[in-house]
Structure 1
Amino acid sequence: MPDRSAPLSIPPGGEHRYTVALRCGMPALERLLVQQLAPFGIQHDPASATLLLVDAPFGFALLTLETLEHSYRYVIVATENPCPEYWEDLDAFQPTILLAGCNLEQPIAEAIARVATGDRYRMTPQQTTPLTASERAVLRLVARGWTNKQIARCLGVTEKRVANTLTGVYEKLRLHSRVALALYYWGRQDVLDDILRPAPSQACPWSAGESSRCDGNKLSCAGGD
């Protein structure tokens, strides 16, 4: 494993030591990353043998890896998607370096410098997936909006097998709908939290200065005259 504790030196005078073919699904962010990496001696070059794949928006890196036609010598994938199953699906494509987490600017610069020396590594949070490989496959396809019938045809199993596997996914992830699974897989924890958050209790319909009494199924206010 490489020693990632050593700080990455910044070359003087804007000297470019490394080149990468930077790909990102958000053009504005891509331009910003090019500017942020320049002080580290890293220059964007579409013809570079090193691909830096920045997963923005979430899902861009996975889709790119699935449809990648050009052969790169090195592939660095960086994602802030918090879903560990998503990390495993990215890692299945065997990138040279896989980075997951927040504040990845420095780790990306270090990865570019070290990949040229032959380093291969994965830097992800300690969180691991409780799902099996087959459960992860079902989760990935559900997240894409596929029906059980489509999933069964794709995986070469019965619909009943898919349904049983999906039940296990629900139980292990403690989620209860296909929408929740999709939000979880694509890293939309903010939206998922809103869905899972209990609805606030409704305020009392009468004012604080009034008393109330319950008469059978009828609610009456006894304030006033």
Structure 2
Amino acid sequence: MSSVAVGVRVVERNPVLELGVAALLRGAAGIELVADRAARPVREGGGEEKGDGEEEEGEAAVVVVGLEGPRGLAEVERLAAVHKVVVLAPEESPALLVRALRAGAHAVLAHGHFGAAELAEAVAAAAQSRGYLSPPVATALVDWLHGGSPEAPGRTRGFGHSLTPREAEVMELIARGWSNRRIASELYISEKTVKNHVHQIYRRLKADDREHAVARWRVLGPARS
């Protein structure tokens, strides 16, 4: 880690969790907390005074964000435009973890499954623009992508082989980001027929949604003869 301390700000809606995360970071080598709630003086009449860095988020090189649901993704995206972001998210929501990474997060840790050392390591990685996934997060993502299949992703036949030729054709267009309407126009079929194909694709690939299906398709690949 660089000899220059990395400025870190904790963004968490729950003040108790915010204090807990800050406590893990406080005293860690090479880390300086910005707008530390525990260090803020109390105003006369109650409430906290804002720290010098609280109004100006730019002072923090890395922001640690608690992500409780999809609505927090907009916050991650907003912060990632200025900072390196470390996300704390529930491991039981792998689709949310993927979206957090796409929103700009450099590191993702599973809530309740990390200590001070790992949090500091994730912050250091993010500060250097390196990716970091805690073991529970990595495991959850792999299981999600593989759909619980015992077969390895390097097999000669991927999940695409379980699709009919038409479903595989539709899946290829979905992977390109095409809408159902555009797919229908391209294949000269009705939009309702496309929706039926999409439903079958989800079922065969054991996918939760379009994004999940694309991830499974890209990782495991279409059928190869």
Q: TM-score, normalising length from structure 1?
A: 0.47
Structure ranking higher in strand proportion: 1
Greater helix content: 2
